[in-house]
Every structure is written in structure tokens, then in C-alpha cells.
Structure 1
């Protein structure tokens, strides 16, 4: 018996995403079907040894002025160093972590490369590996479809 396929959800070219592990909500993200790995803006990226002699990755997530950030550094012990091809075709070594991102109110675990995106308009980039697992399609004429859908659902519940 064939497994029923879920309908694909539509994302716009820009989406607002939440990162529950970092207590961050409504972060602007560019949906980029040309990028394989998703990325998130970080600064002050460095490795520190900890008491167990395991390397600890320490980063400043987003910019200090970004709404929702409290300025504290985040630490990760579960990370990898990987070659990532940037938008200009240059290969760069970047740290990659796994974390949960929320779209349409649903959690999706994905890999995010950590890089300085301060010269980019959007602090988060959503790549193909995330888009495939959530069975999404992209409509470049739309924006913030995930949040708009959740807002409409909340408004309907409030009217009941």
C-alpha cells in the first residue's frame, strides 16, 4: 500500500523564523534554493578549551542590536568544521552546528553554518537541505507565509 504524500507547504522568498534553542523569534531569513547548507550570522567565533578538554565553540549570535538577543555568547560542544562554498564561489572553512528552526509552527532540525553575514541584508539563509526535509516549495512573489498562516490561525482561535 503506498504511503500518502503530504502536500508541500509554500515559503516566500523571505520568511520569519524562530530558533527555540536560542530563545530567538521572528528572525528574518532569506530562502535560497541555490545554497545547500543554511547559515546564520555570528561574530566573535572562536574555540576555547573547557574543563573536560573538549573544544568548545563560542560565538556571538546575530548582532548586539538585533531584537531578541541579550548579548551573551553561546557555546557549542557539538559542531564540525566543514568546507562551504560561498555565494561568490569561494570555498571557506566554517563551523557547522545542528539546531531546530521553526516554520509553520513546526520544528525542523537542520545544519547551520556559522559565518559573519554582517554585510548581508538578512542574518539567516535557509538552504536546500532544510527545504527538502520539510517538503517546501518556494514562491518568490511571496513573503512571510509561515508567520502569516500562524497569525491567521491564532486570530481564528481568538474569535471562538
Structure 2
């Protein structure tokens, strides 16, 4: 997709996102300009060691109780443990991974903290570090602009 360097893409307060490495698409995400780090809902978060005695982070991504979830176990060799300030101001230690999220059909690699978000309405939160990198601006009156753009583009291609 070609666009002028100075243009910013518009996101709504909620967006449908894809995680190609996890084979997950159409996951509903809350766009949160107040959060620095993006977050993704995981359960059963724990460390084990592999055959070479290296630590491996194991999680169940988007546990099956969420409507858009599959609960598949995933393993990450690259991760860090970091202090993350939650929405209520409490600092929690959370594991953080790098993952690719797709918006407007483009890949954006960013950090995601892993936490149990089962008490939250949306399993994914998109924070400022991603929004800055993709040069996005948020219109809180809109929703799912990325997916709508892709659907309109596909319809235009089908007509030609």
C-alpha cells in the first residue's frame, strides 16, 4: 500500500486485528492511547526449561472463555519480565513478548505484555508504542476502520 510519508492512518476506538504468527484473525482490540505497552490476554502463563536448559515462556493465548479465543498453547523463547502499570495505577510484573499485529493489511511488530484479561471486555489492547510506530491517529467515534478499508479495497479489486 503506497501512501505519502506524512499521512497518518485513522483508527477507531475498537479495531479488528490479525496475528499472523499465531494464525488468529479478526480479534477485537481496544485502542488505548493511555496505555504505553500493548497487551494480549493469556492464561496459564509460566516458565519451563527446554532440553538445552534455556527458559521458555509457555502461555495459553486468548483462553477459550473469550468469544474470539482458541486457547492454543504457545511457547516463546524471547521474552522479558517488566514492570507494567495497569489501568488502576498498580504496578505489576508481566512477561513481555514481541509480536506482529496487522492493521490496514500491514505488519507492525510491537511489544505485548501478557496478562489475564478475562475480566476485560477486549482480549487485546493496543497502546501508544504501536500507535506511534504506525503513525496512527485515533477517532473515538469510529470502529474497525482497518478492516473496513481492506473490505472496500477488496470490493474495488473485484469490480475491476
Normalised to the residue count of structure 1, the TM-score between the two structures is 0.94
Aligned residues: 156
Could you tell me which residue of structure 2 aligns to residue 33 of structure 1? 33
Within 1, Cα distance between the matches of 2:39 and 2:76? Answer: 16
Within 2, Cα distance between the matches of 1:125 and 1:88? Answer: 15
Structure 1: which 5+ residue stretches go unaligned?
none
Contact 1:27–1:124 under 8 Å retained in 2 = yes
Q: Within 5 A, what are the aligned runs for 1:93-108?
A: 93-108=93-108
Could you tell me which residue of structure 2 aligns to residue 56 of structure 1? 56
Could you give the per-residue CA deviations for residues 58-78 of structure 1, whole angstroms, max 9, x where no partner exists?
A: 000002254462x43100010
Determine if the alignment matches structure 1 residue 10 to structure 2 residue 16: no
Within 1, Cα distance between the matches of 2:68 and 2:109? Answer: 23
Contact 1:16–1:29 under 8 Å retained in 2 = yes
Could you tell me which residue of structure 2 aligns to residue 156 of structure 1? 156
Determine if the alignment matches structure 1 residue 43 to structure 2 residue 48: no
Q: Within 5 A, what are the aligned runs for 1:102-141?
A: 102-141=102-141
Within 1, Cα distance between the matches of 2:81 and 2:5? Answer: 35
Query: RMSD between aligned alpha carbons?
Result: 1.1
Contact 2:63–2:69 under 8 Å retained in 1 = no
Normalised to the residue count of structure 2, the TM-score between the two structures is 0.94
Within 2, Cα distance between the matches of 1:147 and 1:46? Answer: 33
Contact 1:25–1:68 under 8 Å retained in 2 = no
